[in-house]
C-alpha cells in the first residue's frame, strides 16, 4: 500500500517506515513537487496534525497523513508541548531545545514527562485521528546519538537509558509514534477490508 506522509522530517519518515514494516511504501510531499515548509500554527497537537494533512491534501490533491508530536513535561505544566519544535529558537534546533529544557529543569526533582503523537489521516474526503503516548522522565544530562529531537534527554518508563541510547528497534516498539502509527495501520487494514467487501457497506 502506498501512503503519503505529510512531513519534512526524515527521522519521522524512517521511524514510521520501520514501525509499519514491509507492505507499505511511504512517500513525502517532496515526491510530488511540494517542497515548501508545511505550516503548523495551531495551539494543539491535533490542530497541527490536521493543518499539516489538509495543507498537503490541498496542494497535491492526494490523501495523506500527518504527525504532530510534543514532549509534555509535568513540572513545566506540559511545556514545551505543542511548541516542542520551537522551544528555544524559531528553527528546529534540537541541541538548543534540549539544552533549554535541561536548564529549565535544573534542581527540579520531579522529572516526569511524556511524548504524545497525534496522527491526522485524510482518506476519501474524511478526517481521522490516532493518538499515541509514551511515559518516562527527563534525564539530568543528554546522552546518546540515535534518534532525534529530545531523544537524548528522554528515558522511557521501564528503562535506564535515553531513547538516543536505546536501539532504534526498542524506540520503535514502545514509542508514542509506534502506538499512533500502529493504530493507523489497523484502521487502514480494516478500512481496506470494508472497502473491498461491498456487502459490509451500510452495516
Q: Name the residues annotated as catalytic.
A: 68
Cα dist. 137→34, 49, 129, 158, 190 in Å? Answer: 37, 25, 26, 10, 35
Rounded to whole angstroms, the Cα distance separating 129 from 45 reads 11
Among 51, 84, 165, 172, binds ligand ITT (CB under 6 A): 84
Using the contact rule CB under 6 A, the part of the chain among 63-71, 103-111, 137-145, 180-188 near ligand ITT is 63-71
One character per residue 6-25, x = contact with ligand ITT (rule: CB under 6 A): -xxx--x-------------
* Half-sphere exposure in the Cβ direction for 144 (13 Å, CA): 23
Q: Smaller CB distance to ligand ITT: residue 97 or 165?
A: 97
Among 19, 26, 65, 67, binds ligand ITT (CB under 6 A): 67
Q: Does 188 bind ligand ITT (CB under 6 A)?
A: no
Q: How far is the CB of 62 from ligand ITT (least distance, A)?
A: 16
Q: Does 34 bind ligand ITT (CB under 6 A)?
A: no
> Among the residues of the chain, which ranges form H helices?
10-20, 45-60, 94-104, 168-174, 176-196
For residue 113, what is its C-alpha cell? 514527562
Among 14, 17, 18, 40, binds ligand ITT (CB under 6 A): 40
Rounded to whole angstroms, the Cα distance separating 86 from 82 reads 9
Q: What is the side-by-side strand order in the sheet with 64-73?
A: 80-81, 64-73, 112-123, 126-138, 154-156
Q: Does 65 bind ligand ITT (CB under 6 A)?
A: no
Among 55, 65, 94, 130, binds ligand ITT (CB under 6 A): 94
Q: Rule CB under 6 A: which of 145-174 touch ligand ITT?
A: 147-151
> Which residue(s) pair with 2 in the sheet?
25
Rg (CA), the chain: 18
Residues that bind ligand ITT (CB under 6 A): 7-9, 12, 38, 40, 52, 67-69, 84-85, 92, 94, 97, 147-151, 175, 177
Amino acid at each position: 500500500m502506498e501512503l503519503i506522509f505529510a512531513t519534512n522530517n526524515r527521522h519521522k519518515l524512517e521511524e514510521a517506515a520501520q514501525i509499519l514494516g514491509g507492505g507499505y511504501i511511504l512517500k513525502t510531499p517532496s515526491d510530488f513537487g511540494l517542497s515548501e515548509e508545511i505550516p503548523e500554527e495551531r495551539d494543539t497537537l491535533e490542530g497541527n496534525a490536521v493543518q499539516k494533512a489538509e495543507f498537503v491534501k490541498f496542494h497535491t490533491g492526494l490523501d495523506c497523513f500527518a504527525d504532530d508530536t510534543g514532549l509534555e513535561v509535568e513540572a513545566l505544566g506540559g511545556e514545551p508541548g505543542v511548541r516542542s519544535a520551537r522551544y528555544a529558537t524559531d528553527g528546529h534546533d534540537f541541541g538548543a531545545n534540549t539544552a533549554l529544557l535541561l536548564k529549565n529543569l535544573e534542581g527540579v526533582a520531579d522529572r516526569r514527562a511524556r511524548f504524545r503523537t497525534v496522527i491526522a489521516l485524510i482518506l476519501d474526503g474524511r478526517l481521522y485521528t490516532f493518538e499515541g503516548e509514551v511515559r518516562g522522565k527527563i534525564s539530568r544530562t543528554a546522552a546518546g546519538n540515535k534518534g532525534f529531537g529530545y531523544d537524548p534527554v528522554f528515558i522511557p518508563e521501564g528503562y535506564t537509558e535515553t531513547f538516543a541510547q536505546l536501539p532504534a528497534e526498542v524506540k520503535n516498539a514502545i514509542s508514542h509514534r509506534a502506538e499512533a502509527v500502529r493504530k493507523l495501520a489497523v484502521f487502514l487494514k480494516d478500512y481496506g477490508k470494508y472497502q473491498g467487501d461491498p456487502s459490509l457497506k451500510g452495516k
